[in-house]
Amino acid sequence: MRATAAGSNLEVRPGTVPQLEGHVLVLTDEDGHQGLGYVHAIPAITTDGAGARAGLDFLAPFLQGRRVDDLAGIADECDAVLAFAPSVKAGVDMALHDLLARRLGVPVHVLLGGKRRDTIAQGRILAIKSPAEMGAQAERLVAEGYGQLKLKLSGDVDLDVARVAAVRDAAGATTAITLDPNQSYHAKQMMRAFARMETYDIALIEQPVPAADEAGLALLTRTLPVMVEADESAQTVRDVFRLVSERKVDVINLKVTKLGGLQRFLQAVRICEAGEVGVRVGAAFGPALMQAMSVQAASVVRHLPAACELAEHLHLLDDPFTPLPVTQGTIAVPDTPGCGVAFAPSA
């Protein structure tokens, strides 16, 4: 098996983020089959771009000449020789699964136990803007067929309540609304704010308090009549175990890139399922390759209590991979060999 990596600076549609950094890992076996993995490299979320490339260069020698089907052994070795860097390990694990699936002529979900659903409902994210702007964006997305919207909030209670009101008015009564304060509230402040937001029929609140404030998460989970979800508090499988075993949340936002690969993702899923805690596969901004891998992973989860967020590749202007279509707010789980996308002919 041979490993190569390439940089991938992707242009984003006009907005606050001009480009997304990342690396594509290509694994090639002796018969010429190739597997693709994406290394998420946004410093504020996962890893610095240069740091991600350094991690890939460090791990490459451990992949040369290895058996393609030694998925668990390679994952364990990557953990043993390289601390942290989950997005780098995720890229390696994705590429291994993609390569083995293509060799066997099956979709990746078969290697994960087999899909439980043919389509994955998608929600879309409303960035922090004025209430009027967020309402207008909500109206456009509902017209495109999305049945769930997530509002980013700022921690300014009056302004956040106005944002929720504007989106509910624009989206209509049947659209599910979730909130993502991005750690901007403390627990009792969130309780006071929710008392004003509750009338707008909120389905879920994602990570309202700082990641380290697990006591605050637990308080909100016990107190609020709405699902409370951990995201930044659930960075590792060990974090997931602690949150589930102590029942600090109702739902955990799991991401392949955050946890270090498809195998670690599945470990986290099984912990959640054993503890009757919900799973949601949330947004990790990147190209169709990364989203397709997450769709494959989401398809094997027993219960998804809310829509996933795997349609953010639609923001990209120059995605180098073949399309992963979103139709009326859903993504069909690809059944072609591998993850379901490949390099576009012009890439």
| 3-state DSSP of 125-176 | EECCCCHHHHHHHHHHHHHCCCCEEEEECCCCHHHHHHHHHHHHHHHCCCCE
The answer to whether residue 345 sits within a structural domain is: no
d(C-alpha 327, C-alpha 70), whole Å = 36
Whether 13 has a pLDDT exceeding 60, the answer reads no
Q: Is the dihedral of CA 60, 321, 19, 171 positive or negative?
A: negative
pLDDT in tens, 95-137: 999 999 999 999 999 999 999 999 999 999 999 999 999 999 9
Domain boundary among 105, 129, 151: 105
Three-state SS for 72?
helix
Residues 183 and 49 placed together within one structural domain of the fold: no
pLDDT of residue 20: 82
Residues 61 and 89 placed together within one structural domain of the fold: yes
C-alpha to C-alpha distances, 101 to 25, 45, 95, 126, 150, nearest whole angstrom: 16, 29, 10, 35, 33
Q: Categorize the per-residue pLDDT at 209 as very low, low, confident or very high, splitting at 50, 70 and 90.
A: very high
Q: What is the mean pLDDT of residues 225-245?
A: 98
The answer to whether residue 339 sits within a structural domain is: no
Residues 155 and 253 placed together within one structural domain of the fold: yes
CATH number of the domain to which 47 belongs? 3.30.390.10
C-alpha to C-alpha distances, 28 to 22, 98, 326, nearest whole angstrom: 20, 11, 30
- Tell me phi and psi for residue 276, to 5 degrees: 60, 40
Q: Categorize the per-residue pLDDT at 311 as very low, low, confident or very high, splitting at 50, 70 and 90.
A: very high
Residues 179 and 305 placed together within one structural domain of the fold: yes
pLDDT of residue 338: 98
Domain that holds residue 193: 119-332
As given in the structure block, the two tokens for residue 324 are: 């992963």
Residues 81 and 223 placed together within one structural domain of the fold: no
The answer to whether residue 69 sits within a structural domain is: yes
**Among the listed ranges 10-24, 103-117, 182-196, which one has the minimum average pLDDT value?**
10-24
Rounded to the nearest angstrom, the gap between the alpha carbon of residue 16 and the centroid of all alpha carbons in its chain is 20
Q: Categorize the per-residue pLDDT at 8 as very low, low, confident or very high, splitting at 50, 70 and 90.
A: low
**What residues form DSSP beta bridges with 126?**
151
C-alpha to C-alpha distances, 89 to 41, 81, 93, 298, 345, nearest whole angstrom: 12, 11, 6, 19, 27
CB 288 within 8 A of CB 113: no
Three-state SS for 292?
helix
pLDDT of residue 2: 77
Whether 203 has a pLDDT exceeding 70, the answer reads yes
Beta strands in the chain (DSSP E): 2-7, 10-11, 19-20, 22-28, 34-40, 119-121, 123-126, 148-152, 176-180, 202-206, 227-230, 251-254, 278-281, 330-332
pLDDT of residue 17: 59
d(C-alpha 247, C-alpha 222), whole Å = 9
Residues 213 and 64 placed together within one structural domain of the fold: no
d(C-alpha 165, C-alpha 88), whole Å = 40
Give every CB contact of residue 177 below 8 A, 6+ residues apart in sequence: 148, 149, 150, 151, 164, 167, 168, 171, 200, 201, 202, 203
Residues 215 and 71 placed together within one structural domain of the fold: no
Residues 8 and 46 placed together within one structural domain of the fold: yes
Q: What is the mean pLDDT of residues 137-141?
A: 98
Domain boundary among 74, 105, 136: 105
Q: Is the dihedral of CA 282, 56, 292, 143 positive or negative?
A: positive
The answer to whether residue 167 sits within a structural domain is: yes
Domain boundary among 105, 130, 152: 105
pLDDT of residue 21: 87
pLDDT of residue 11: 61
Residues 232 and 143 placed together within one structural domain of the fold: yes
d(C-alpha 98, C-alpha 94), whole Å = 6
The answer to whether residue 312 sits within a structural domain is: yes
pLDDT of residue 90: 98
Q: For all residues of the chain together, what is the average pLDDT?
A: 95
pLDDT in tens, 255-297: 999 999 999 999 999 999 999 999 999 999 999 999 999 999 9
How crowded is residue 63: how many other Cβ atoms within 10 Å of its Cβ? 20
The answer to whether residue 346 sits within a structural domain is: no
Residues 76 and 157 placed together within one structural domain of the fold: no
pLDDT in tens, 20-56: 889 999 999 999 999 999 999 988 889 888 999 999 9
How many structural domains compose the chain?
Answer: 2
Whether 185 has a pLDDT exceeding 60, the answer reads yes
The answer to whether residue 111 sits within a structural domain is: no
As given in the structure block, the two tokens for residue 213 are: 């404030």
Is the pTM higher than 0.85? The answer reads yes
Residues 55 and 137 placed together within one structural domain of the fold: no
Q: Categorize the per-residue pLDDT at 14 as very low, low, confident or very high, splitting at 50, 70 and 90.
A: very low
Residues 88 and 133 placed together within one structural domain of the fold: no
CATH number of the domain to which 163 belongs? 3.20.20.120
Q: Minimal CA–CA distance to 22: which of 41, 44, 36? A: 41
Give every CB contact of residue 72 below 8 A, 6+ residues apart in sequence: 263
Q: What is the mean pLDDT of residues 213-222?
A: 98
The answer to whether residue 113 sits within a structural domain is: no
